[in-house]
Structure formats: C-alpha cells, structure tokens
A and B are shown apart, each in its own frame.
Chain A
C-alpha cells in the first residue's frame, strides 16, 4: 500500500548531502528519507532553518575565503 509522507525535498550537491547525512547520524533529527541518489533527500519541514544555519556556520569555517581587497 503506497504511503505519502510530508517533508521538504532537498536538492544539493553531494558534498552538502554528505554533511547533512553526518549531522543526522547522531540523533536522526533531520532526515525523513534518504533518496539514495547523489543529490536528493527529504527532510523534516521544521528543521530547515536549523539545518541551514548549521551548514552556514560550518561552511564559513571550512571553506577558504578568497582574499577580497576593497582597493580600486
């Protein structure tokens, strides 16, 4: 019998997906269904903001920032 589950379809690149999977390992608080291809998964609707913030924080730390000079 088919079932319908409410959620947010997340489209992202594999690296981001890997990060989300890792976050979820501890408490399984984000993911509803891992869609098993490289860049899709379904998460709980309420967790989007928290997830985004966490990603932003980690990305800011991990990604090297280009040196941006304001000189002309």
Chain B
C-alpha cells in the first residue's frame, strides 16, 4: 500500500483557527491633526477607522479589538473601557449593564450589528471626553505624542488577553512563544531542546498592533528608550507593529515595522485612508503569509542619543553597554553604566577615530541598540 497508508501522521487540519486581536494606537495629537484638517480631519479619520474595526470584527466571530489614544500628555484607552470608567457617565442598571435607554428610543439601533455599535459608541464617546478634557496648557508647545505609553498599554492588554484566551482554549501563551527567543537571538540553547515549535504561534491569540501616526518623530525622541523597549518586546513576542503614517516622518516607527515584520505605509493621499486600511492592514498574520505586503526597504535606522535625546546619524557608543551619546559624556564616564571610557584623544579630533565609530554605528544601527534586550547580554553594573 504505497498510496493508501497512514505513514504520515494523522493531524486534524481543521483545528480551530485562533482569532486575532487588533490593537490600534491612534495618535490624537491636536497639533498634527490640525495640519491635516484640509485633507483628512480627525472626525473623518475616526469614521474610517471605525469601518476598518468593523471589518476586522466581521472577519471572525471571536476577533477582538482594542483602541488606545496616544495623546499629548497621556496615553489612554478608548476601547475596551472598564465598567467603572463608564459608569461615571452613564448610570448602570442592576445587573451591571449600562443602560441603553438613550439609543433605544431612537430606533437606529436595529440596523447595526451589536458588537459594531458597541465599539463605535465607546470609541467616539471616550475620544470626545479626551479631547474635551484637553486644555490649552497641555497643548502649549507640546507637539509630541505619548507613543511609549500607548505601546505599553497595548502590550499589557495583549498579554492579558492572550493569557485569558490560552487558559480558555489550552493553547500556548505568550511566555511559551517568548521561549524560543527573539528571531535574531539565536540562543536556542537557553530554553529547552526545541520545545516550542513555530506552530504554537498559530495556536495562540493572533495579536498585532496598528499605529496610526501623525506626529513628527523628532519630537518624540525623548521617548526613544521606552519606545525601543516596546518594539523589542513585540519582536520577541512575534507581534507585528503596523504603521500607517498620515503625516510627518517617523524614524523609530520605521524601525518598529522592520524589527517586527509589520507593514509600513506613509500615505501620500490621506483621504484614501479607508482603502489603505482595508487593503494593507486588514489581513491578519495567517493571511499575510500569502500576500505581498508593503514594507519599507530603506529603513531609517537612526537612533536617539542617551544624553540629550537627539536623533543622531553619527555618535559615540559606550564600549561596555552600547549606550549612544551625541557628544563625549562628561568626565569620560558612561552615563548609563558608569564605566570610565578611555577616549583620551577625542577632544583633539583626530579625524580617524570618530569616523571609525560612525561607520560601525551606521551599519549596525538598531541591532547594536537592541542587543541588550534581544540576546539578553547582561548589562554590567
């Protein structure tokens, strides 16, 4: 029997496909949106985003969505919102449900699928609250956005949902996935003999993050370290970060997509946001295997220095902990690890020494910075 036998292991191909969790980080910086007013006002962008969210929810019964606003001074949840947050605005009835009397009377409720409406209501309501609570003091001269905070919120939610899902379905959770290390880590010896195969990835909740970015990145250079940390966390947990860039340029976000194998798109025509979202950002990880998706070839690998948070092309790197400085640190002592650095001649500018460093720097941009996280090199001191 060569054709009909069971020599190949019988496997259930029809295993349940894990649903996906889409976390959207929406940059709500009013300055940046104001500049987009003519082509794509915030309200319209949000409307487009909501259709996109609905499309995501429509793809699978169990798909989940989360929306985080990355505002000028804080990062906050737009959806899901915890009950106690909501109850401040709406009286909850006895069984804890929020009374829906408001819309019940309007009769508009019947033409929309319930889950869609829930998200829509919460997001718009919370967004309005957020913008109402923003006063001019928050805005004055503040053109940045709390991306690091938003990413951290997103990541912690993803972690929570993944664990909850794994408990319910007995799949692998994030820690299992992290067990096989970052993709570039190559330290497989650390965690058991190939205990976790890539297929475990398929079985857990499929999470991804979409950043809708409008602010310029040079303003967010002061968040360089936390942002990079979040990116490396995503890389390790195989969570792609997609970036939909409506305006400005985002240095670190390019690196984020590159490191996590996400989709990066800078929209030349913001008006077509919905179509871009539907085409490039809707497919989940499973479908992405089959699709050719836009990625950036020329990734901007610049880093921000640790001393002044400036984005630098050329800098000085501590030989022990790989911290980056735009100028020699005071007292020749590394600001991060305190190692006395012996670069006696740097003041006299013998053109050779800094140039050597800058070359190295350019080639290994991110990976140098990333090493402490992804390979677990113990930082001295």
Q: Which residues of A contact B (CB under 8 A)?
A: 11-13, 39
Contacts and interface: CB of A to CB of B under 8 A. Distances in A.
A42 to B, nearest CB: 15
7 shortest A-B CB distances, which residue pairs?
Answer: A13-B1, A11-B3, A39-B3, A11-B4, A12-B4, A13-B4, A39-B2
Interface of B: 1-4
A39 B2 CA distance: 9
Contacts of B1: 12-13
B78 to A, nearest CB: 58
10 contacts: A11-B3, A11-B4, A12-B1, A12-B4, A13-B1, A13-B2, A13-B3, A13-B4, A39-B2, A39-B3
Contacts of B2: 13, 39
Contacts of A11: 3-4
A39 B3 CA distance: 8
Contacts of B4: 11-13
Contacts of B3: 11, 13, 39
Nearest to A15: B1
Nearest to A38: B2
B8 to A, nearest CB: 16
A43 B347 CA distance: 92
Contacts of A39: 2-3
A12 to B, nearest CB: 7
Contacts of A13: 1-4
A29 B1 CA distance: 25
A11 B1 CA distance: 9
Contacts of A12: 1, 4
B150 to A, nearest CB: 58
Given A13-B1, A13-B3, 8 more contacts: A11-B3, A11-B4, A12-B1, A12-B4, A13-B2, A13-B4, A39-B2, A39-B3
A48 B348 CA distance: 93
Nearest to B5: A13
A43 B123 CA distance: 64
A12 B2 CA distance: 8
B2 to A, nearest CB: 7
A11 B5 CA distance: 11
A12 B5 CA distance: 10
A12 B4 CA distance: 7
A36 to B, nearest CB: 16
B10 to A, nearest CB: 18
A11 B3 CA distance: 7
A17 B178 CA distance: 52
B356 to A, nearest CB: 68
A26 to B, nearest CB: 26
B45 to A, nearest CB: 57
Nearest to B3: A11
A9 to B, nearest CB: 11
B209 to A, nearest CB: 49
A64 B1 CA distance: 18
B118 to A, nearest CB: 53
A12 B1 CA distance: 7
A24 B322 CA distance: 81
Nearest to A16: B1
A13 B2 CA distance: 7
A68 B1 CA distance: 24
B22 to A, nearest CB: 45
A13 B3 CA distance: 8
A11 B4 CA distance: 8
